[in-house]
Each structure stands twice: as structure tokens, then as C-alpha cells.
Amino acid sequence: MLPLSSLMYAIPNNTRRVLTSWKSNTDPSPGEFVAELTPEVPPQGLVRKGSLPYWRSGPWAETRFTGILEMDETYVNPLTMVQDVVNGTGVMTFCALRNFDVSYIKLASDGSLNVRRSNGGNTGWIKHFEGPLSSCDLYGTCGANGMCIRSISSPICKCLKGFVPKSDDEWNSGNWTRGCVRRTELSSSCQGNYSSTTQSKDTTDGFYRVANIKPPDSYELASSGDAEQCRQGCLGNCSCSAFAYIKGIGCLVWKHELLDMVQFTQGGEILFIRLARSELAGSKRIKIISVSAISLCVIIILGLAAFGCWRYRVKQNGQARVAMEVSEDSWKNHLKSQDVSGLNFFEMHTIQNATDNFSISNKLGQGGFGTVYKGKLKDGKEIAIKRLSRSSGEGTEEFMNELKLISKLQHRNLVRLLGYCIEGEEKLLVYEFMVNKSLDSFLFDLKKKLEIGWSKRFNIIQGIARGLVYLHRDSLLRVVHRDLKASNILLDEKMNPKISDFGLARMFQGTQNQDNTGRVFGTL
């Protein structure tokens, strides 16, 4: 398989493009091994021996296969993946390895998958990747609910916590294919009810954490937002036996037996296995004792620290109160000199009422500048409030920068600043609220990115370009944003893009074409 070759599937046409092994090293006729891309969401690479699975890569997570330990942050990945869930297609393309003259993928006659590279000359072919590496990598070595331990040689299989061998005699003799079964059934609200999608709230089930795992086969992508929602979704579904929240994928759940599990010595993912509460009781008691001892020590230390802080604050309180008054007056005087006409001044109590006193449920995000909250004014208008972090010295400069620039810039592809608030140590900016949040929430979510086809993406690109042309050429000021990224592109209800966050922006004179800075800016 040479660079720019690909494996693919198309469910509507029932077509596949696969890589087939030779019959032997000297016989190029089709062999018994086939490498293919599976249509699961997300997809995974699979090598079959005839009709049976032989080795699999684990699910794809943006830039890597989760079951291939070598694919960490330092790995030079030669693969790109495009999956269209709506139309039932997927393509994995092999790209040429960077800095190497020649590279290829070969499925050998023994079923091993090899990636080789060469710089030319007399160095020969160098191994870039090879799998499977051990018997642990072979599909289903330890059977259902069994885990293959890569760090030891014999025995290599063990049952998951809360499970026992289905056949003790076979297991002890080294035949692990029949796997393991639960020692204790799950809560009574789920027994005999695995077709149910919901479970009563008085469940006595829990989860056991297993680290350094190659995710099992037969997973499903769930719509849960974060790790806690993923956990609650699994706990509330009688058919869910395990879950994992994986970077680059999101929430995966398993509704059947856990098959083809491998545990690495390092790396891998974290899997949470559903168990009856009685299976977790022992570990819970130890945990409670440990937490109690640690908590007592922490309370003593915090008590001493609090006493010291109290004495210090009593001493500094008078000075701080004077400093606050001076600071607030100097801010307001400075704003008058900056001509921020057209902006409303919001009272602090108005913002507190709009955000339910900065409730965590209204929190939209957080950055180096501070925290952003959603708010609702008395007239029903929704707003976004950026609250300056009190500890951020650079945030103060960025606050003034946004006030000065956005009050003077007006364009349909720039976010609109409605006003500001300064009271005591509090400094806040009030913006129009963007219903669809930021562009990165669509681009880097496996499900939401399907909502923006190429037509919408092109319109978003056009809108961003129009905003930049206005900043660089058409406005009365010449402004360079200096921190343009997907999270700083907001989307309104019609998916129109709005460039936001001008805290790091720099304003130039009409004839000025360069400037120097003493600070590092931007996002890697």
C-alpha cells in the first residue's frame, strides 16, 4: 500500500476497498488475511483471517488509534481519516511519512501489518510500525470479560474485577477463550430487564476504574456531553456494562460482553466497568479510611493557614479599602479619556441578577482573562458577561484594549460589545449572546461537526475573511487580532461568524506596517 492509497467502505453501495496479504512471501496470489476499515463510529482498523477477526487497532481518536500504544503525541502519524456517518462512508488514507523518501504499508502473509520507511541510500527499510506484537494483541485472546496483561508472560489473562472464569478447569489449563462471567448480578432494578433503556434512581450499582486499557470491541458512541454525563448516562441504562470518556472521541459505551481487552504497562485509556455495589464495598471501606485521615490533616493545615490569613487581612484591610476606592476612581477617569461613547454602563446588581449571582449553571467558559457567563436581562434579552480575573495583571490591559477597540469597530462579522461594569475590584464586559457558541465546539465534536456541511463551512470562512478585511483595511483603524482561533469565532443563530476576544489585538497607524512587542501572544 503506497502513499495516497486508501482503505474505504460505502454502506449504501455495499462496497469496500481492502488490503489483502500474499499467500506466501513468494506467492503473490491472495492470502487469507485482509485489512479493512470498519463502519463503526468512530471507525477502527481490522485485520481478518478469513471471516474471523485476527487483530484490531481500537477506535480512532482524531489523530490516533487508541489500541496502538505507539501512537502517542510524539508519533509521526502517516494516516488521515474522514468518516461521513450520515452517508455511511469512511476513508482512511496513507500519506507519505514526513522527511522520508519512500514509505509503504504491507500486510504480510502471516497477518502482521508493517509500516516501513527509507531515506534512500544503503540504509535499507526501517520499521516505523508493526503489529500485532504479542499474543495479547490477537483478537479475543482472553475471551469475554477477560483482560490480557501485556506486562507479564504467563499467565497473561485474568478476569476483570467482579468476574470469575466461566470454566475453572479450562481457565487454569491456559484455555481462556470461554472468558469470564459476573460473580454478582447487577441491581435488582436491572435484572432480567436489559432491554430497558432506563433504570430507577435507587440503583445500587457502581463503577470500577481500570487504567492503561485498549478499549474493548463492540462500542457505541453516546451523545453525553462530558465525563460525568457519560457516567450518569451509562448508570441510567440497564444495558450499559461499561463506559469510557476518551480525548478526541467523547463518550463510548458498551452494551454487551467486554471482548478483546488489553492492559498496557503505560498509556492507553481509562475504562469504567459496571459492578454490583457489593463488589465495590471492600475498596470503598479502605477509601473512606484513607480519605478520613487525609481530611483530618487537611483541616488542621487549613485551620492554621486561615488563622494566619485572618491576622494578615486585619492588618491590611484598611489599606486595601483605600486602594480599592482609588483604583475604581482611576479606572473611571481613564475610561472618560479613552472616548468609549456608545457603550452602556451596567450596574453590578443588574449583572448579578442577570447571571443568578454568577451561578455555575450559567458558566460558558474560562480563559486566562477570566470567566464568561450567560445572562438574561429583565427585558428578556440574553447577554454574555466576561468577568475579569482579579489575579490577572495582563487581564487588566486586555480589558482596556477590548473597550477601546470594539467601541470604535462596527461590522456584522465582529462580536458586538454592549457595555461594561466597574465596581470595586470587579471589572466586566457585556456582549451580545451567541446562541451557537464558538466554532471549535462544532469542528472538534464527532457529532456536531456533521451539522456543518461544506456550504455552511464556506459561508463561515467567507464571514471570517470579511471581518479580517475590515480590520486590516476597511476600518478607520488598522487592527491585527493576534489571537485568531476557532474558540474566538462565535456563531449566531444563523451560523454567521463573529470574531471575538480583542484583548491581545494591536492597533496600527494608517502608514505603519510593523511594530515590536515585549510579550508573547497567540495560541499554539
Is 217 annotated as catalytic? Answer: no
Which residue in this structure is represented by grid cell 487497532?
57
Distance CA 484, CA 198 (A): 44
CA 25 to each of CA 35, 118, 147, 267, 329: distance values in angstroms, whole numbers, following the listed order: 17, 21, 33, 34, 83
**Grid cell for residue 374:** 450567560
User: H or E element: which one contains 336?
Assistant: helix 277-337
Distance CA 388, CA 419 (A): 14
Helix and strand counts by DSSP (H, E) for the chain: 7, 31
Distance CA 401, CA 158 (A): 60
Binding residues for ATP: 386
Q: Is 439 exposed, middle or buried (0-12, 13-18, 19+ CB in 10 A)?
A: buried
Between CA 290 and CA 297, with CA 294 as vertex, the angle to 5 degrees is: 150
Binding residues: 386
Choice among 84, 137, 260, 483 that is catalytic: 483
142 φ, ψ to 5°?
A: -100, 10
Provide the 3-class DSSP secondary structure of residue 468.
Answer: helix
Q: Strands 15-17 and 6-10, how do they pair?
A: antiparallel
User: CB neighbours (10 Å) of residue 78?
Assistant: 20
Distance CA 213, CA 222 (A): 19
Q: Strands 426-432 and 417-423, how do they pair?
A: antiparallel
Q: Is 85 exposed, middle or buried (0-12, 13-18, 19+ CB in 10 A)?
A: middle
What residues have CB less than 8 Å from 196, skipping those under 6 apart?
Answer: 190, 237, 238, 239
CA 162 to each of CA 60, 178, 245, 262, 277: distance values in angstroms, whole numbers, following the listed order: 29, 16, 21, 17, 10
CA-closest candidate to residue 395, choices 365, 364, 371, 362: 371
Q: Which residues are catalytic?
A: 483
